């Protein structure tokens, strides 16, 4: 954390602003043209500030502070930072994900990416490096398991594995913890800095990358997302956890290639990663020369949403006069009969994915079922349309390309596809996803046999940056109780077209309550509310691409408002399906508390976050305690005697 503070101080100095790094110091409010910036609030407030200042004075002082969060969403440290930053003048965050998370929880935050200090001393990658592999990071169960699993392979190299404990603060001079000049000396003598994620969240540890490249090391990291401006195999090496040691071995055996990549990464530091740009942004905001909302990701999303709402209202107004606000192009053979299934594909500014998506449909095994493609473009501004035309010009299926004149959002785009489709059934597909050859025929057979409103199958989630499979969607059978508890079925499914039209199609009004993505959940809830059945096929038949702009990343934005709306809209369905500890994806209050979901959503996100964090912290303390580990054999014996499975051993 001190490294980050000192890097920023150097950037402020380079911008003509005096800056001083103070460890465990108190703010100095009231000094003209002076600002207090807390680096790493998750450490400063609990470890020092709350102990040095009386509570009555703390709130007033906090209102004078700017804070810089350095922790990623999803972990306990981010939750601490969120809690303690409540009264700050403004929040900065080194992660775009973090800034967005603050924003969607109602707090304005500005993304300020890390960089290197002007004039930083860089170590020549060609320097003498007797250490093969070094790892520096806090200990976690995941990391401990990784090193235990790869112990034999690692034993062949000269390694330094520094796993510092998280039970106590890591301070300069702490045993087993490298910092400052000691760490710089270690890295300058090491060939490879190895990075293993502490948890299953595959965010890119930019700070560790900067440390490695400044010291002339080759960074070999577990697969990560959002690595820009760093490019895999040019500036660093990225691969799956099961291939990390193999990658280290390969580059240790090829010093020329190792030095080439390390040198390219180091060159990127001096060309594209000067911290002064972030420092200037922070100075302008502190001095009131810039608006926080200009760089606030959540505010930008809000502006984007409002613009879509306006365009949608204008489009609906045009259509009420009988006019159309779209054009149609037709491709492929045109038969006399109607198709069994229409594949409705939504498209907006995803040119790079058009070919794979369309070819996955064209290469399908239809098993005698007639099919057509209806691709609806939501006013793309990139090369999406030309790429679609190029593929469809040689289509073996009847294909309709619908070109909307204005961008009106996903729900409206899909509804237009439903309207123009001719098939008895429609398969809903977004252009950044794709299907396996047997997908369509399997789902058509399932929906016909079951006489259901929809059929769906499991979906493979894969990381767009690495191609790695990272999980499943739609992986459970149709269960209305479970559906009311939380959204678990994706839009990629086969539907009875007329029945979906009778139910009203996709809800276009939801965007006024939240961000896009909830229209899928709304449709599944309406199907359940109507008493219809959906058939689950226990096979993996399609693939969902997870990337920075995929819908799965944005669905949670503004979730409080949309959950309240859905709770009102489906109050009858919720009343008929009680009993879960979650409703519409949100924790419910305890059974003793009145009001069900209403009582939950009346609570502020901050209060819910604190309650969840407190419970997680208590559980973690129990699981890390010596008594829990000592009594493990006794608990196992009791469970064996009682002939029941372990009910609470998540981390043993």
Q: Which of 596, 597, 506, 612 is nearest to 551 (CA)?
A: 506
pLDDT at 586 over 50: yes
Distance CA 419, CA 410 (A): 14
Report helix, strand or coil for 193.
Answer: strand
Q: What is the pLDDT of residue 590?
A: 35
DSSP characters for 525-582? HHHHHTT--EEEEEEEEEEEEE-TT-HHHHTTTTHHHHHHHHHHHTHHHHHHS---SE
226 within 8 A of 101, measured Cβ to Cβ:
no
Residue ranges in 217-275 assigned as alpha helix (H): 244-252, 255-272
Report helix, strand or coil for 463.
Answer: strand
**Structure tokens belonging to residue 481:** 């109780």
pLDDT at 494 over 90: yes
Provide the β-strand partners of residue 461: 471, 544
Return the ∠ at Cα 198 (arms to 195 and 199), rounded to 5°: 130
Residue with tokens 């969403």: 73
pLDDT per residue as tens digits for the range 94-144: 887 788 778 767 788 888 888 888 877 889 999 899 999 999 888 888 899
Average pLDDT over residues 269-274: 81
Distance CA 288, CA 475 (A): 50
Report helix, strand or coil for 523.
Answer: helix
Q: Compute the radius of gyration of the chain from its Cα atoms.
A: 27
266 within 8 A of 213, measured Cβ to Cβ:
yes
The pLDDT-based confidence of 601 (bands split at 50, 70, 90) is very low
Q: Which of 326, 321, 308 is nearest to 408 (CA)?
A: 308
Q: What is the DSSP letter of 46?
A: I
Helix axes 605-624, 76-84, angle to 10 degrees: 140
Q: Which of 589, 588, 478, 558 is nearest to 525 (CA)?
A: 478
Helix axes 96-104, 297-319, angle to 10 degrees: 60
The pTM (predicted TM-score) of the whole model is: 0.57
Query: Which value, to the nearest 10 degrees, does the dihedral of the CA atoms of residues 232, 237, 241, 244 take?
Result: 160
H-helix or E-strand spanning residue 411: helix 410-420
Burial class (CB in 10 A: 0-12, 13-18, 19+), 349: middle
Q: What is the pLDDT of residue 462?
A: 86
Residue with tokens 């994915």: 353
**Structure tokens belonging to residue 98:** 């973090």
468 within 8 A of 552, measured Cβ to Cβ:
no
**Structure tokens belonging to residue 109:** 């935050």
pLDDT per residue as tens digits for the range 221-261: 998 877 878 888 899 999 988 899 999 999 999 999 999 99
Long-range contacts of 85-90 (CB under 8 A, 24+ apart): 85/41, 86/62, 86/606, 87/59, 87/62, 87/63, 88/38, 88/41, 88/62, 88/63, 89/63, 89/64, 89/65, 90/66, 90/285, 90/286, 90/292
The pLDDT-based confidence of 65 (bands split at 50, 70, 90) is confident
- Compare 441 and 113 and report the one with higher pLDDT: 441
Q: What is the pLDDT of residue 275?
A: 87
Lowest average pLDDT, out of 557-571, 574-588, 605-619, 636-650, goes to: 636-650
Sign of torsion, CA 199 201 202 207? negative
pLDDT at 552 over 60: no
**Structure tokens belonging to residue 404:** 């909307």
Please provide the average confidence, as pLDDT, over all residues in the chain: 83
Q: Tally Cβ neighbours within 10 Å of residue 319.
A: 13
Burial class (CB in 10 A: 0-12, 13-18, 19+), 372: buried
């Amino acid at each position: 954390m001190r490294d980050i503070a000192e890097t920023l101080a150097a950037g402020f100095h380079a911008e003509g602003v005096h800056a001083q790094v103070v460890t465990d110091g108190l703010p100095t409010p009231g000094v003209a043209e002076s600002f207090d910036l807390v680096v790493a609030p998750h450490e400063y407030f609990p470890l020092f500030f709350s102990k040095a200042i009386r509570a009555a004075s703390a709130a007033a002082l906090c209102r004078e502070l700017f804070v810089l969060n350095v922790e990623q969403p999803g972990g306990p440290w981010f939750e601490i930072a969120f809690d303690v930053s409540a009264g700050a003048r403004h929040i900065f965050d080194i992660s775009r994900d973090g800034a967005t998370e603050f924003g969607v929880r109602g707090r304005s935050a500005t993304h300020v990416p890390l960089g290197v200090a002007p004039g930083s001393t860089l170590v020549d990658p060609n320097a003498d490096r007797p250490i093969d592999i070094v790892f520096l990071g806090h200990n976690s169960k995941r990391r401990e398991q990784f090193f235990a699993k790869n112990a034999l392979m690692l034993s062949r190299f000269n390694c330094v594995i520094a796993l510092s404990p998280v039970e106590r603060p890591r301070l300069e001079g702490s045993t087993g913890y490298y910092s400052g000049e000691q760490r710089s000396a270690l890295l300058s003598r090491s060939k490879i800095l190895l990075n293993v994620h502490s948890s299953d969240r595959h965010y890119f540890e930019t700070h560790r990358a900067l440390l490695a490249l400044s010291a002339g090391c080759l960074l070999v990291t577990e697969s990560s997302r959002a690595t820009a401006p760093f490019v895999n195999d040019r500036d660093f090496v990225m691969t799956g956890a099961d291939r990390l040691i193999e990658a280290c071995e390969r580059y240790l055996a090829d010093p020329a290639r190792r030095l080439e990549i390390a040198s390219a990464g180091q060159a990127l530091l001096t060309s594209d990663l000067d911290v002064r740009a972030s420092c200037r942004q922070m100075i302008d905001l502190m001095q009131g020369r810039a608006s926080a909302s200009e760089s606030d990701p959540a505010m930008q999303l809000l502006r984007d949403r409002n613009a879509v709402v306006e365009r949608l209202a204008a489009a609906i107004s045009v259509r009420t006069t009988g006019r159309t606000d779209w054009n149609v192009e037709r491709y492929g053979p045109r038969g006399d009969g109607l198709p069994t299934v229409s594949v409705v594909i939504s498209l907006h500014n995803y040119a790079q994915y058009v070919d794979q998506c369309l070819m996955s449909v064209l290469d399908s095994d239809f098993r005698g079922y007639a099919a057509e493609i209806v691709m609806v473009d939501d006013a793309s501004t990139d090369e999406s349309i030309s790429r679609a035309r190029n593929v469809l010009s040689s289509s073996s299926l009847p294909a309709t390309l619908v070109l909307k004149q204005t961008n009106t959002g996903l729900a409206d785009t899909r509804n237009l596809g439903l309207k123009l489709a001719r098939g008895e059934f429609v398969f809903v597909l977004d252009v950044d996803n794709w299907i396996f050859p047997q997908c369509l025929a399997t789902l058509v057979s399932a929906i016909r046999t079951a006489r259901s409103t929809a059929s769906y199958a499991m979906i493979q989630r894969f990381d767009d940056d690495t191609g790695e499979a990272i999980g499943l969607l739609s992986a459970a059978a149709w269960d209305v109780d479970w559906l009311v508890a939380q959204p678990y079925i994706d839009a990629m499914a086969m539907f009875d077209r007329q029945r979906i039209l009778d139910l009203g199609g996709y809800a276009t009004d939801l965007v006024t309550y939240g961000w896009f993505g909830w229209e899928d959940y709304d449709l599944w809830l309406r199907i359940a509310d109507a008493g219809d059945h959906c058939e689950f096929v226990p096979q993996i038949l399609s693939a969902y691409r997870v990337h920075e702009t995929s819908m799965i990343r944005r669905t949670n934005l503004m979730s409080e408002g949309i959950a309240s709306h859905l709770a009102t809209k489906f109050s009858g369905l919720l009343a008929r399906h009680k009993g879960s500890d979650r409703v519409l994806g949100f924790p419910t209050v305890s059974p003793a508390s009145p009001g069900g979901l209403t009582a939950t959503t009346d609570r502020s996100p901050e209060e819910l976050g604190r309650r969840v964090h407190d419970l997680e912290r208590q559980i973690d303390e129990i699981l890390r305690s010596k008594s829990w580990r000592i009594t493990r054999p006794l608990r196992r014996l009791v469970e064996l005697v009682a002939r029941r499975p372990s009910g609470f051993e998540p981390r043993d």
